[in-house]
Structure formats: C-alpha cells, structure tokens
C-alpha cells in the first residue's frame, strides 16, 4: 500500500530536480545554452538574409531579361507575318490582358486579327456529350475531309478550323457559305460552343489560347474529370490542326496542364509561357513557321518543349492573297475592299458556296 511517506519522497524528488536544474541553468550551463541558442539564431538570420538577397538578384535578372526581350521584340517580329490573317480562339478563362498582348505581337509581326472567338465549356465537359454530338451531326456534311466514322471530337475540331478559315474561291477575304453555316451552328444556342466577338472574316492561320491548371495541394486528389477533359481538348485541337494551320499556346508547368496533353498528340505546333513576354513574342514566330509548313514542334521552356524558338522564316505573304481576284458583282479586288463578307452573327453570306482554304486543298 502506498502511504504518506511515498508521496512525500516523490514531492521532495521533484523539487530537488527542479532546484538542481535552476542551479545548473543559472550557473555553469547558462553560458553554453545561451551561446548555442544565439548561434542558431544568427545562422538562421544569415540564411534569411542570403535568401532575400538571392530573391532580389533573381528579380533583377528577370526584369533585365524582360527588358531585353521587349527591346529585341521589334527586330525579331519585323515582317514575320506579312499580311497573314489570324483567327484567335480562346479557352474559357483566358484574360483580356493576355489576348490583347498576343494580338499586339501578331500585329507587330505584320499580321492581322480577322476573327476573335471564345470557346465554350461544352467543348470538353463530359456532361455535354449529347450537345456536342448534336452539333457534330449538324455540321458533319458541311466540313471538307470529315468521314462518317470520325468521332465527334474530330468533327468539331475540324469544324472549328474550317469555320475560321473557309473562304470562297472568287474572293479569299470572303467567308464561304459552308464556313458561315458551320460557324453559325457552332455559335448557336444558349450555351454555344463558340461565341464570336464582332465580325469574323476568313483567316490564314488559327491560334488557340489555353489556360493553366492550379497545382493541387500535397494531400489533395486531382479532379477525376480533368484528364478526360484534357484528352478531349487534345483530340479536338489536333483535328483543328488538320483542317487549318494551327498553333496552340498556353502553359506547360504542370503535368495536368492542357497544353502538355496537347503536346502528347504531336500533330500541332505549341508554345508555352503564354503569360510571359517571352512566350507572347514567340507566338508570331511559331505562326510564321506553321505558315511555312514547318514541322509542328513544341516551343518554349516548359514540360515537353523541344526548342525555345523556331528557325526564322522568309515569308512574302499569304498564298491565298497573292493573286488579286474580283468578287462577283462588286468590281472590287481581294485586297480588303468594301465588297468582302464575313460572319456577322446572322448566319448569312452573299458569296457563292464554292470553298477555298488558305492552302488551296479544301482543308
């Protein structure tokens, strides 16, 4: 049985140990412990100062690099896209700042933005499969090169490329009746696949701007619908590249970024770093490479990139516009005259229905 003496001895032991600790801490061990703590604090302070200095130096280096690219951009872009017409299609969520910055670089290179469209969420939403099938069935017979066995993703991807580039044989600046019909179908409905900003005229090149994904937390689970969505986008944009000369620009910092999945198809040229000056300057150069029928390669510094820049091209202008032609009934040439027609949201065109693509092969 535990009696009072046991408790008394225990209390005495506790207080004795406490007294010994106080004596040692205030005496022979005080300086040692204090010096160790002071040394550790000083080391941490030095490491923090070194990291702050490194961050400041990196920021200064980045600012210098951006300033250099800004200064070199005019020389790099001068005449890169002489007279080429570009249709810009943006993913949901692409900011106006990014779109404007890229458009400005295209114009600096001598290009012209002839169409701006925003792609809807139904393009890759698993829940919108029925809606995509309905549109694909509607346009399947209107899109050149589409077969009955082609999947909805392929049909819609080629439909996008054709709708943005299809022109009449008489006037390459006027959209063909089939191209207008396809774009009208894509833009139809309360939640359309495509929303057209202003008027859309035929382009020589198609540029698709994508968005970045957000890195998941360490213990978080990746959205199970993300990979199927990325696969759908990849197949769709690969088909767009088959229908028209296409460049896809975006981000390749994470394995789950859409652009990384698009690069896996190896059928369309890509540019990463869209949110940086370097990436935005690279876009017109890659468009020029695609216009010159160069191999579609991944450019930039992100995942899957092969080269920072494509070789310089010596373009003289879009082949479709090299020979001026006269549009029926207006006596005007194919030089941007008043008689040209485009998609204006009404789904109508005054031009004949004979189709001509920028490459002249009906694609």
For position 244, what pLDDT does the model report?
96
Please say whether the beta carbons of 184 and 176 come within 8 A. Answer: no
User: Burial level of 270, CB count in 10 A (0-12/13-18/19+)?
Assistant: buried
- Nearest-5° angle of CA 84, CA 89, CA 91? 150
In Å, what is the CA distance from 303 to each residue of 161, 231, 253, 284, 295? Answer: 26, 17, 6, 21, 19
Residue spans of the domains in the chain: they are 4-57, 81-356
**What is residue 224's predicted lDDT score, i.e. its pLDDT?**
65
Q: Work out the number of other CB atoms within 10 angstroms of the CB of residue 35.
A: 10
Q: What is the pLDDT of residue 30?
A: 58
CA–CA dist 101, 112 (Å, integer) = 14
DSSP string, 92-104: TT--HHHHHHHHH
Q: Are the beta carbons of 131 and 304 closer than 8 angstroms?
A: no
pLDDT of residue 15: 78
Pairing of strands 355-356, 167-168: antiparallel
The most distant pair of C-alpha atoms in the chain lies apart, rounded to whole Å, by 120
Q: In the prediction, which pLDDT does 219 show?
A: 62
pLDDT of residue 123: 94
Q: What's residue 132's pLDDT?
A: 94
Count Cβ atoms below 10 Å from residue 135 Cβ, excluding itself: 23
CA count, 13 A, side-chain hemisphere, 189: 15
Parts of the chain with a pLDDT under 70: 1-4, 7, 20, 23-34, 216-225, 323-363
Which of these, 125, 162, 118, lies nearest to 140 by C-alpha position?
162
The confidence score (pLDDT) of residue 353 equals 44
User: Which pair of structure tokens corresponds to residue 323?
Assistant: 């020979």
């Amino acid at each position: 049985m535990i009696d009072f003496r046991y408790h008394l001895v225990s209390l005495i032991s506790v207080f004795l140990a406490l007294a010994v600790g106080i004596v040692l801490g205030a005496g022979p061990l005080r300086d040692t412990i204090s010096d160790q703590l002071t040394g550790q604090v000083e080391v941490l302070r030095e490491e923090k100062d070194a990291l702050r200095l490194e961050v400041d130096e990196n920021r200064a280096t980045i600012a210098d690099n951006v300033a250099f690219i800004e200064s070199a951009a005019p020389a790099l872009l001068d005449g890169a896209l002489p007279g080429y017409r570009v249709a810009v299609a943006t993913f949901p969520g692409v900011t106006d700042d990014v779109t404007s910055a890229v458009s400005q670089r295209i114009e600096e290179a001598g290009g012209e933005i002839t169409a701006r469209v925003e792609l809807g969420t139904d393009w890759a939403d698993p829940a919108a499969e029925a809606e995509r099938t309905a549109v694909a069935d509607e346009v399947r017979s209107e899109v050149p090169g589409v077969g009955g066995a082609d999947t909805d993703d392929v049909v819609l991807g080629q439909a996008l490329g054709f709708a943005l580039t299809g022109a009449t044989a008489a006037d390459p600046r006027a959209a063909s009746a089939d191209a207008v019909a396809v774009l009208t179908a894509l833009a139809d409905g309360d939640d359309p696949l495509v929303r057209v900003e202003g008027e859309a005229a035929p382009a020589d090149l198609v540029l698709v701007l994508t968005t970045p994904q957000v890195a998941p937390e360490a213990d978080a689970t990746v959205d199970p619908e993300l990979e199927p969505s990325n696969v759908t986008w990849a197949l769709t944009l690969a088909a767009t590249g088959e229908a028209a000369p296409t460049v896809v620009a975006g981000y390749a910092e994470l394995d789950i970024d859409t652009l990384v999945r698009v690069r896996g198809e190896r059928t369309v040229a890509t540019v990463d770093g869209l949110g940086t000056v370097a990436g935005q300057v690279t876009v017109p150069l890659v468009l020029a490479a695609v216009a010159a029928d160069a191999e579609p390669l991944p450019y930039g510094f992100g995942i899957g990139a092969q080269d920072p820049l494509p070789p310089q091209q010596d373009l003289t202008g879009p082949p479709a516009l090299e020979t001026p032609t006269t549009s029926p009934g207006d006596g005007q040439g194919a030089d941007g005259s008043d008689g040209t027609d485009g998609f204006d949201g009404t789904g109508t065109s005054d031009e004949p229905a004979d189709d001509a693509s920028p490459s002249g092969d009906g694609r």
